Amino acid sequence: MTQKDSIPRAAQAVPELRRIRAELSRLIEPGDLLAGVAVELLGAEVLHDLITSDRVLSRRQGAELAASAASAGLGPRQQSLAAGLQRWRTRRDQLHGQRDIDAMARFSGGILIPEDPDWPAQLRDLGPASPVALWFRAGEGLSDRERLDRLPTFTRAAAIVGSREITDYGIRITAELTEELVQAGLCLISGGAYGVDAAAHRAALRSAAERRAESSGGHALSQPHRPTPTIAVLAGGLDRLYPAGNEGLLQEVSAAGMLLSEMAPGSAPTRHRFLQRNRLIAALGMITVVTEARWRSGAQSTAHHALTLGRPVGVVPGSVFSASSSGCHRLLKETPAQVVTDAADVLALAGGLASVEPAAHPVLPMDVAKAPGRGHPQDGLTEAQRLLYDALPVHGLSSPAKLSGVAGLPLPKVLAELSRLQRSGRARTVNGQWGRAPAARSRPGLPTPS
Amino acid sequence: MTQKDSIPRAAQAVPELRRIRAELSRLIEPGDLLAGVAVELLGAEVLHDLITSDRVLSRRQGAELAASAASAGLGPRQQSLAAGLQRWRTRRDQLHGQRDIDAMARFSGGILIPEDPDWPAQLRDLGPASPVALWFRAGEGLSDRERLDRLPTFTRAAAIVGSREITDYGIRITAELTEELVQAGLCLISGGAYGVDAAAHRAALRSAAERRAESSGGHALSQPHRPTPTIAVLAGGLDRLYPAGNEGLLQEVSAAGMLLSEMAPGSAPTRHRFLQRNRLIAALGMITVVTEARWRSGAQSTAHHALTLGRPVGVVPGSVFSASSSGCHRLLKETPAQVVTDAADVLALAGGLASVEPAAHPVLPMDVAKAPGRGHPQDGLTEAQRLLYDALPVHGLSSPAKLSGVAGLPLPKVLAELSRLQRSGRARTVNGQWGRAPAARSRPGLPTPS
């Protein structure tokens, strides 16, 4: 229990901050935007103190908080600190942060906070919806350092999600896509549910096991760092693995990869937490792929989170007579999500973001053959493509309508050729705006965007 | 044979013009852009005279032709009149236009020329690639007047195309889509090939037969005009129906609907003519739908023609493991074509263009429920949709990027909500630009665009 007489003005020692954020992760429901704004403006300690004491903010602090909340787009109701404190104080009798941290240590895990250098920078894209902390479970008998080394950078993570109900078709394409992406050195990000989530984790684990078997063979070169194959982001506390039928699978994910949750141990996976959990899956990966989804599915929510964050969304089409693909087609019809049919498509759609290591087997010969930087970027282009490539800004971005004017090409042609230039690694797109992709040779290691 | 001493300066009497164009339709290969420019600039008679005599153009006429050809985008080689005349004179010994017209009359057909009031106005969108003439076959024992009444307006015609090889999946979705569109009063436009073309015609004929059976029932109201169910556009002359295996089917299409070709009777369906034929299919319908297509397929060419003409293209997705859907997915990945999974999607994508009559059975309850004009257009909109609807120009069009600024919504949100507004009949799109859809009540009968 923290009981202080004055609001602390300077950052606490890190262990104290860790305990404070551990407690906030129990007090505050995920995605509480006012709490996010308050943490940004006042700091975690002040918010914690406000919740746990009966102090009030100064008039100036209150006005600043209201202004920050308004500029973050919160409505009048969401801006109310009084209502916020009422929410956050409902679990004020459960302030046992250190006990939770100690408990997670017994589960081969711990807590990561935004002040840690290992905090995934891509989560900052969530703004005030950023999680207060991330609980993790990984490996057994490892140090926290070794565990956190399993966190992939943004450009090595791809989310694959879908419905709980899965068909043979869904299993097959989920497994194929996941295996190829993991073989290409990417880390799968998914939930822990039955269906697509489970099929994807199984495929990732299988792919990692094959890689281990190969690299332990006589002729293999030493592998100083083995990329993490898979991460499951769960909606409840990591002390209990939900659903129970996936407990064994999630333990395997923890052993070879990682489990993450923003909820403190002992927290139940409620419906609200499932929906909010989806924003973490969308934020952690550079792309979200929906392989099979019904009309209403959590995958819809994950895809919308990804699009809101400006991340590309790939969707696997299927039979128009299959209810299990209707959610995929819905995304293709109602959102800017793009069709993907294989791993090469996923990597192309992730675009300039992917920094994929050479795979042991050349699993993506098409994509590699299409990669830029193996000659002049204009080699093999048609006249229209050359005009358009010339028109693309090297720095910054331009709209298709503007490019149409600059290149002197009709808009439908521009749209069609932009897709082709993107697929051949020459153009990049952000929120419907287009620019020239950086040459592959000049970007051996992209910095993680923050 | 026409042999004149001077180039005629005024239009000939229409029967003479009909014979001249009939002969040009044999002399000139379809899609010959220089010929199209020459017909536009000089008139069909002058071009015919140039080809059939050994006269030359005046210096001024030659310069004008070259300038017109250049401004139509023809390359230096394509602009050469000498080369053009060489091409067009290869069949100069086959000038029997009146014999061809008489022959087509024996096949329950005739020739339609751009000077006829019945000429489909939408073909003018092809510019210099417009056909020189259209040969037709329709019904039996009808007058030409009755035959030409079968030509649908632009807003009542939709093309459905695909591969020659067809799976059970392709047959099922092609048949379902076609039946529903024909029941909604649209006319199918397709080729005459095996596979998707044949499946679509069969479904359209079946649908029309059901309608006939119903309307001949005791309680049926009199139907003054029965919409044409289906039109096959062929690549060769209409005296021989190709492929032979589809002869019976194509005769049924002719009996209940219409056969069209820009080639004179006796002309073989060459590969070039097949590819050029696709532009007519794309131009005749307000939308082109690809239901099942392999990676390389004529349907790709039809879809590209439609996109170039600014017509929407709908694509039915399928299994990513089916080679028969790979061309569909290719279109979705490489072009601005849109996913459609049912007839309501097709009508929504055709957007403000469709002027569909109430069907005998309400086959599209979803679409009807979503139709605008049944209350205030802003009813049932979310806040974001209302902002966006307000931002949409009533006249003219605006880019998504501009709309994003006006509505104060992020671009991905704008793109997603524009799709929704379009699907609910509130927004229309032309070449990637967006405007407000005209209210359904204020447009009982849209004029045919020209």
Smallest Cβ–Cβ distance between A419 and the set B317, B335, B411 belongs to B335
Looking at the domain assignment, is residue B358 inside a domain?
A: no
CA distances from B154 to A161, B82, B283 (A): 42, 37, 9
Looking at the domain assignment, is residue B178 inside a domain?
A: yes
Confidence of residue B410 (pLDDT cuts 50, 70, 90): low
With vertex at residue B410, the alpha carbon angle to CA B405 and CA B414, rounded to the nearest 5 degrees, is: 85
| Under 8 Å between Cβ of B194 and B246 | yes
Same-domain check for residues A284 and A399:
no
Q: Which residues of A touch B342 (CB under 8 A)?
A: 320
Reply yes or no on whether the pLDDT at B430 is more than 80.
no
Looking at the domain assignment, is residue A216 inside a domain?
A: yes
Same-domain check for residues B91 and B125:
no
User: Which helix H or strand E contains A428, and what residues bound it?
Assistant: strand A427-430
Same-domain check for residues B326 and B243:
yes
Smallest Cβ–Cβ distance between A319 and the set B169, B307, B333 belongs to B169
With vertex at residue A231, the alpha carbon angle to CA A207 and CA A254, rounded to the nearest 5 degrees, is: 85
pLDDT at residue B366, as a whole number = 29
Of A95, A111, A134, which marks where a domain is finished? A95
Q: How far apart are CA B448 and CA A245, in angstroms?
A: 61
Which is more confident, B445 or B154?
A: B154
Looking at the domain assignment, is residue B112 inside a domain?
A: no
pLDDT at residue B408, as a whole number = 64
Task: For chains A and B, count residue pairs whose Cβ atoms are closer than 8 Å.
Answer: 122
B26, two tokens: 């044999």
CB pair distance less than 8 Å for A317 and B339: yes
Same-domain check for residues B375 and B341:
no
Same-domain check for residues A131 and A261:
yes
- From A45-59, A281-295, B240-254, B402-416, the region with the lowest mean pLDDT: B402-416
Q: How far apart are CA B194 and CA B318, in angstroms?
A: 20
Of B79, B95, B111, which marks where a domain is finished? B95
User: Into how many domains does chain B fold?
Assistant: 3
Task: For residue B387, give the CATH number of its domain.
Answer: 1.10.10.10
Q: Which residues of A touch B433 (CB under 8 A)?
A: 401, 411
Q: Which residues of B touch A345 (CB under 8 A)?
A: 333
Q: Which residues of B touch A329 (CB under 8 A)?
A: 317, 339, 341
Looking at the domain assignment, is residue B179 inside a domain?
A: yes
Same-domain check for residues B184 and B224:
yes
- Distance linking the first and last C-alpha atoms of chain B: 34
User: Which helix H or strand E contains A199, and what residues bound it?
Assistant: helix A196-215
Q: How far apart are CA A341 and CA A195, in angstroms?
A: 19
CA distances from B344 to A300, A359, B202 (A): 22, 45, 21
User: Which helix H or strand E contains A148, and what residues bound it?
Assistant: helix A144-148
Cis peptide before B365 (omega within 30 of 0): no
The contacts of residue A352 (CB under 8 Å, 6+ apart) are A425, A428, A437, A438, A443, A446
Report the SS3 class of residue A231. Answer: strand
Same-domain check for residues A88 and A151:
no
Residue A285 Ramachandran class (φ > 0 left, ψ -120 to 50 alpha, else beta) = beta
Looking at the domain assignment, is residue A203 inside a domain?
A: yes
Mean pLDDT of the residues in chain A: 85
CB pair distance less than 8 Å for A333 and B339: yes
Same-domain check for residues B86 and B125:
no
Q: How far apart are CA A122 and CA A279, in angstroms?
A: 12
Which amino acid is located at A292 in the chain?
A: E
Reply yes or no on whether the pLDDT at A10 is more than 70.
no
| Under 8 Å between Cβ of A306 and A312 | yes
Looking at the domain assignment, is residue A220 inside a domain?
A: yes
The nearest CA of chain B is from the CA of A77 a distance in Å of 16
Interface of B with A (CB under 8 A): 169, 172-173, 304, 307-308, 310, 316-321, 325-326, 329, 332-336, 338-342, 345, 399-401, 410-413, 415-416, 419-420, 423, 431-433
Reply yes or no on whether the pLDDT at A358 is more than 80.
no
Q: Characterize B273-293 residue by residue with b for buried, 16 or more Cβ atoms within 10 angstroms of its Cβ, and e for exposed.
A: bbbbbbbbbbbbbbbbbbbbb
Same-domain check for residues A328 and A381:
no
pLDDT of A125-137, one tens digit each?
Answer: 999 999 999 999 9
CB pair distance less than 8 Å for B310 and A412: yes
CB pair distance less than 8 Å for B416 and A307: yes
* Four-point Cα dihedral B388, B392, B394, B396, nearest 10: -170
Q: Containing domain of residue A272, as a range?
A: 121-353
Q: Which residues of A touch B320 (CB under 8 A)?
A: 173, 316-318, 341-342
B187, two tokens: 């006319």
Reply yes or no on whether the pLDDT at B387 is more than 80.
no
From A388, A390, A414, select the one nearest A401 (Cα to Cα).
A414
Of B319, B353, B387, which marks where a domain is finished? B353
Task: For residue B233, give the CATH number of its domain.
Answer: 3.40.50.450
Q: Are strands A258-261 and A134-137 parallel, antiparallel or unpaired?
A: antiparallel
Q: What is the ipTM of this complex?
A: 0.74
Same-domain check for residues A173 and A30:
no
A59-71 and A33-42 helices, crossing angle to 10°: 130
Looking at the domain assignment, is residue A256 inside a domain?
A: yes
Same-domain check for residues A172 and A318:
yes
Same-domain check for residues A433 and A347:
no
Which amino acid is located at A195 in the chain?
A: G
**Can you give the C-alpha Rg of chain B in angstroms?**
23
pLDDT of B232-285, one tens digit each?
Answer: 999 999 999 999 999 999 999 999 999 999 999 999 999 999 999 999 999 999
Mean pLDDT of the residues in chain B: 85
The whole-number average pLDDT for the span B203-221 is 79
